[in-house]
């Protein structure tokens, strides 16, 4: 999906919500454990109940890899289901990959070509040659970790090296990489106060912003400092939506939570 198509969906749905599909078999309703593929059954119900309220879904691949071949099959069924039934939805493989060039090429093929995601998250710390293989895919996005939502972000990302914080160096340097128009960046909702500085370096780029909901990030603060002329934000919530109920009404409860966030987003867009 192109950035222009994503912006069209945001305007149409009055939503820049991304729902995280982080499926933990210990947290899903008991009755689903009788299904052949409980992970896919859970995702399908959540997607069917929430697709009108969001513009993107983000499965974090850790939650699938943890279940071996069955988990990977559930991930494949989920992305196929989305691409077939809801092609207007933007899809993010939150895989946080990145390696030497030839290995990155294989990671990029796995997520962007074989599985058919619109985008994949990538760690920047192996540098240009580890990221450019992802950027080579037309109409796909590489979402580079810039300033993450966790406390550990302060261990390295905010440290100053040669007069500039590391996360700012990631933003500045990556702008010069080949096909950098295919870049988006991860900035945690818990780091909203940094968004003003971030927007000075990358005024036009889309940001994937996790950390609203379970991690306590504030949607209004993110919008205040991070929104640009074309919105430029995809705000993610995973646990806060998908585990709203552990009973038979789990999908309805998820839709209710998603609707609450969508209404706040509609206000920000008005
Ligand atoms: O800085 C980051 C980067 C990625 N994530 C991921 O986003 C979701 C957040 O889940 P919640 O349940 O809404 O907290 C999860 O997949 C993280 O691995 C992040 O939180 N922060």
**Distance (Å) from CA 235 to ligand 1 centroid:** 11
Could you tell me if 124 and 171 are in contact, meaning their C-beta atoms sit under 8 angstroms apart?
no
**Distance (Å) from CA 211 to ligand 1 centroid:** 6
Q: What DSSP letter does each residue of 114-163 carry, written as one string? A: IS--SEEEE--TT-HHHHHHHHTSTT-EEEEEEE-SSTTHHHHTT-EETT
Backbone angles phi, psi at 235, to 5 degrees: -95, 125
Instruction: Write out the chain's pLDDT in tens, 270 residues.
Output: 999 999 999 999 999 999 999 999 999 999 999 999 999 999 999 999 999 999 999 999 999 999 999 999 999 999 999 999 999 999 999 999 999 999 999 999 999 999 999 999 999 999 999 999 999 999 999 999 999 999 999 999 999 999 999 999 999 999 999 999 999 999 999 999 999 999 999 999 999 999 998 899 999 999 999 999 999 999 999 999 999 999 999 999 999 999 999 999 999 999
ipTM confidence score? 0.99
Could you tell me if 45 and 250 are in contact, meaning their C-beta atoms sit under 8 angstroms apart?
yes
Q: How far apart are CA 147 and CA 222, in angstroms?
A: 13
Q: Whose CA is nearest to atom 1 of ligand 1?
A: 148
CB-ligand 1 contact for 214 (6 Å cutoff): yes
Calculate Rg over the CA atoms of the chain. 18
Burial class (CB in 10 A: 0-12, 13-18, 19+), 124: buried
Q: What is the largest CA-CA distance in the chain?
A: 57
Domains of the chain, CATH where assigned: 3-269 (3.20.20.70)
CB-ligand 1 contact for 237 (6 Å cutoff): yes
| Residue 10: CA count within 13 A, CB half-sphere | 23
Pocket test for ligand 1, best of 59, 238, 239, 261 (most atoms within 8 A of CB): 238
Per the listing, tokens 């603060």 go with 221
Decide the pairing of beta strands 164-165 and 183-187: unpaired
**pTM for this entry:** 0.98
Q: Where are the beta strands (DSSP E) in 48-89?
A: 56-58
268, two tokens: 């920000």
175, two tokens: 């702008």
The SS3 call for residue 106 is helix
Please report which helix (H) or strand (E) contains residue 88, including its range. Answer: none
**Distance (Å) from CA 190 to ligand 1 centroid:** 11
């Amino acid at each position: 999906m192109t950035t222009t198509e994503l912006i069209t969906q945001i305007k149409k749905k009055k939503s820049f919500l991304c729902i995280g599909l982080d499926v933990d078999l210990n947290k899903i309703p008991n009755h689903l454990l009788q299904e052949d593929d409980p992970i896919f059954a859970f995702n399908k119900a959540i997607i069917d109940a929430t697709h009108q309220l969001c513009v993107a879904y983000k499965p974090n691949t850790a939650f699938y890899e943890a279940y071996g071949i069955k988990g990977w099959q559930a991930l494949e069924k989920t992305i196929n289901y989305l691409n077939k039934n809801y092609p207007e939805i933007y899809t993010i493989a939150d895989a946080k990959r990145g390696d030497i060039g030839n290995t990155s090429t294989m990671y990029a093929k796995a997520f962007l070509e074989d599985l058919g995601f619109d985008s994949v998250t990538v760690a920047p710390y192996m540098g240009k040659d580890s990221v450019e293989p992802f950027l080579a895919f037309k109409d796909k996005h590489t979402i580079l970790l810039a300033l993450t939502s966790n406390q550990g972000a302060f261990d390295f990302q905010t440290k100053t090296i040669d007069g500039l914080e590391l996360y700012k160096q990631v933003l500045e340097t990556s702008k010069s990489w080949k096909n950098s128009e295919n870049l988006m960046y991860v900035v945690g909702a818990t780091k909203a106060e940094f968004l003003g500085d971030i927007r000075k370096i990358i005024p036009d780029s889309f940001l994937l912003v996790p950390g609203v909901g379970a991690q306590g990030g504030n949607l209004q603060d993110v919008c205040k400092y991070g929104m640009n002329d074309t919105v430029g934000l995809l705000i993610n919530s995973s646990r806060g939506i998908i585990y709203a109920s552990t009973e038979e009404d789990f999908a309805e409860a998820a839709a209710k939570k998603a609707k609450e966030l969508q209404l706040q987003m509609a206000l920000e867009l008005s």
